[in-house]
Structure 1
Amino acid sequence: MNQTLRRAIVDSQEFKISTKNIWKRYQDVGQYNEGSIRGEIFDSWENSKKLGISPFQNKINEIIKQNDLEDRLKKNEQLLSFATPKIKSLTDILNDSKTMFSITDKHGTILHSSGEKTVLKKAERINIFTGGTWSEKSAGTNAVGMVLRTKKPSRVLFSEHFCEKNHEWYCVAYPILAPFTNELLGIINIAGNYNQVHQHTIGLVISEANNISKSIDQQYYEYILRNNLFMNTAMEGIEDAIFVVDSEKRIVEKNGAARSQFILSGIQSIKSLPELDRLVEFVLQHGKIIIREEVNDNLNKKKFICSIYPVTFQDEHLGAVIFFRENSASAAPKPQQLTSVRSVNSKSTRYSFDDMIGSSPEYKEVVRKAQKASLIDATLFLAGETGTGKEVFAQAIHQASNRSNHPFVAINCGAIPHGLFESELFGYESGAFTGAKSKGNPGKFELAQGGTIFLDEIADMPLDLQVHLLRILEERVVTRIGGDKTTPLDVRVIAATHKDLNEAVKNGQFREDLLYRLRVIQLKIPALRERISDVPALVHHFVKKMSGQFGKQEILIHKDTMQCLTQYTWPGNIRELKNVIQQSLFNMEGNIMFPFDLPPEVIGNLGENEKERIIEAMIRENGNVTKAAKVLDLSRATMYRKIKQYHLSAEDWIDGK
């Protein structure tokens, strides 16, 4: 335990008296004897005075409204999810030490408090509860307020508080900081006003609070590692120079490429590049991405191509990542190259994130991650059952990326004959084999230059060719069959399969080193049965999209039909659903889609129930088809078609009487 804190707890009365005298002298004449109180406390007193805080106010001034509190809680769900399991383990320690534990957001607003009941009640009297804002502006000198200003661990003991009403309290606070950008995300605070507690007990609870803050820091680090832009782009593994800046536009990190370049290594502030400064300001204000903008370094007479990505967490823009590449004539693509890749691109992509249909939590989460993945250039692996829409995701990611003006080339690894696989992927030179084109032929990787190659059903790639793909991923060059010239590649790889690659590795059917190369980032696309609440939206989408093919408009879906569709397990996923709707549109008459319009495997037991209802209606109406149809809310033509579908005859309702 810190020496000052130990003295305050063990000799609390003496400490409080001496500190109180210093506080009184400061309030009376604005002075104190140097060394009699910590410098950071005096700085906070001075700041509290400048903010107009009355030393005699008896409560925290700022309490946010309920609606604002709900917004804050929602924005900080991740922070609270990290902290909650740790807080539960403190119950006994908090009770024994007569203390309370609070966690605040980055503004000092309390999101959660727990602890010994009498301490919590005393805290409530001075507005220390959920929704109260514990800043210097609201409460004068206090530990949370000092952390807000300094981003450093702080403690305020008894009469060190600016407001006299708080002189019975001690509090120790620890910041929770974002990795790399060092932005404040939240604060952990321990407080108490019961001074007859053993120093060991207090030391234990303070130590636990410190451990919790470090644990949450680590969880944030791991979260960033898994999900955030600049880690996923493997800062040290790419050729571009990278700056990481915080929300104040201070450079907090550079990668090796930036440190090794003479000009960039000497840049201490982006303000030295006014054009870049304005672009970063825009990104931080709006959370928008800027792709390949030219920035002039007038001092060194250099031009750079920059891409800037916001670093966002819990809807807050914590900073930005800047990618630099020196602009040179050799780096610019030739005009004819641009023309050709655009023509390939226009023919090969149809889907974007606007085509994603579904509002289930499972689907929204994978779409969110896919959108995040579109902002980076790392190799991506899509896992999911057949028919879940893996290529739709791959195309949408390409369309939202900075490669969208370049080709998207898809290849189904399970549909290429083994003998043609190598030439399809890697190309060949003239005369490489019998039947080869006289001028040779580029492979799919060359055709995808500057853009994205989508390797669907990657598990079906022959084992002997997997080593060639591994070399491409490692060296980023391709050599055509029959040639010795290597072509540098600038291609993003997205791979997908419905198979279990871990199992394939165990069975010796897939290379383990290739698996690790492909799984830089992995997205699992949920099966349709795992997001069954999205079925109605998908049904209406496909009906609207395809009804014109069958000369139909304004199609209505009967409620029993939708019940069938939502109860079915969809082993073929979205692809099967689309086919079912197409078949049903073909089957139906009129503008209402009834259950009997669906294929038999989808109807299930409902068909038997419907058959029985038709027989009952015909019995009731003495075999009058028109009246029975009216009872069932069907058209006469539909009634006749149903009778035919279920192979019914007059004997069925005559015998049923």
Structure 2
Amino acid sequence: MIAGQVTKEQWKRFVQEGALDTSRISRRIAASWYECRKNGVDPYNGKGILRLESGDLQKKREENKRLIEIAVPFMKKLAQMYAQSNMIILLIDRDGYVLKLMGQDKARALATHINFTEGVKWTEKEVGTNAIGTALSTGEAITVNGPEHFSLASQSWGCSASPIRDEKGDVLGILDISSPSAAGYHEHLLGTVVSAAYAIEHKWQQLIKEEEIALMHHALECLGKQETSFFVADRHGRIVYLSPQAKANLNASRGGSIDDLPFSAAKTPVYSSDGGQVIGSYAAVPVKEAKPCGTGWAGTFSFKGVIGTSSTFKEVLEKAEKVSRTNVTVHITGETGTGKEVMARSIHESHAGRNAPFIAINCGAVPANLLESELFGYAPGAFTGAKKEGAPGKIVQADGGTLFLDEIGEIPAAMQVALLRVLQEKEVTPVGGDKTRPVKFRLITASNRPLGEQVQNGTFREDLYYRIYVYAIHLPPLRRRREDIPALIHYYFHQNGWPFSWTEKSLQVLQRQKWEGNIRELFNVLEGLYVEFQEETPTARQIEAYVQQTSSGHEETPPVPSLSVREQMEKDYLEKALRQHGGKASLAAEQLGIPRSSFYRKLAKYQLS
């Protein structure tokens, strides 16, 4: 007799006396037998005992919905291959519960005699040595045939099982082929089961990649809200995207666990495109509170940014304070990086309060084919990939509060008509729907270029222009309020919890710069300086040398004339990341969560070196 074959006599001797000749039995079978004897498994029974009620089984199937969806087509192919054989194919979850069973009717009927059915728990502790339970226990594929089963009920069966692993290598479940004809059971079936399990794993890996793409898409949609602090995590709680503001507020990075975050996040589920599965979560990251630096502002209006001391900006605040007492439409102009959304949010909170919704979307950052559904929402089944329950859209979300449309000049002509109708009729119709919904909100818009010129050249509707250009506020560029730069520097250091010990001479270095990127560029430079010098205080000369290397006022490559606003924003993000990491593309790509190959293509596209 060759090693690995087990006879009924060997089984009886072990059960009665505990004696076993390990040279004549598989090492894994022997180890399992000893474990079963230790755990008090009944060798004379072995029928399934622990079985889920229908409701609990349905819950188990819901928890493993994705696995079932992937595995069932392969199970059907196996069932078809062995339709003339006396076999059943089973899918088991990581806890040992049978989720699905299919195959030949006669084999299914015989399986019921030992309670080998859907919903039963088929582990070593429950029914003794068996292919399913032993594969779960060892994490390895195995065949258990005839008397190799520890308990009598299964000894007429032959079974082969293989683990199915997820993207992290953890066991998702077990795939099994079993036959009540142990004498005619073929060892080659183990190879078939292993191959099918591998194919299921491959499909699972594809699914995870698709889910990560969907989560990144969700993050890009969230980026329509400028200066928003949030993260998006996958189903395992691994962070797949961390917004720039969230990075400034957290000691965390992409790939980290949300369990390690220093606060308890109120997470919102992110669903698959069909709406049937939770594929991850979204959560806002608390922004560090900071007291305004410089001179305060008396009155009912509370500006959430840095006030400073310049008379130029004080005049702006006077206008903002006046309009905050009303509900009129406001249009904010100013160069990129001057703080248009900060001003819009301040007006909103001073009038409506913090509890009313403030919904922001950057019309230039969202692709044109997504902007319509983002803004107006969509009805169920409006387009391929739409959520089955539909989506409300930003206008409906802003009901009772404020809708802030940044870069409104980027809205396509056809969408301008729809927006004009919403403002006139005070009701919105979702994409693909026919039912209107009344809405009431305050509209604040912003643009970094003159809308009047767009009206003249025909790219912006004149009637919409007059609808939104009711009360205008212009935010001056940083070079027109240089006296506020020290207050801005103090504010940024305080917001990030960095110690501040700069000299007056060091502050003057930054006051002399052009700051074509305004406050945003200033903050980028401050962040880069902190990365460069950490806790060490840089000298005025070191600050000047760093700024000369990085500032847009010195060595910045002129923008490509044909770039859209969205492309220019993307280029700005790339340049910022490169500056922060001293030109190291690999670190910049990691910070932005972009694959290196894509990052290098973008560098070439925007002529960045």
TM-score, normalization: structure 2? 0.47
Q: Which has the higher helix share?
A: 1
Q: Between the two structures, name the one with larger relative contact order (CA 8 Å, sep ≥ 6).
A: 2
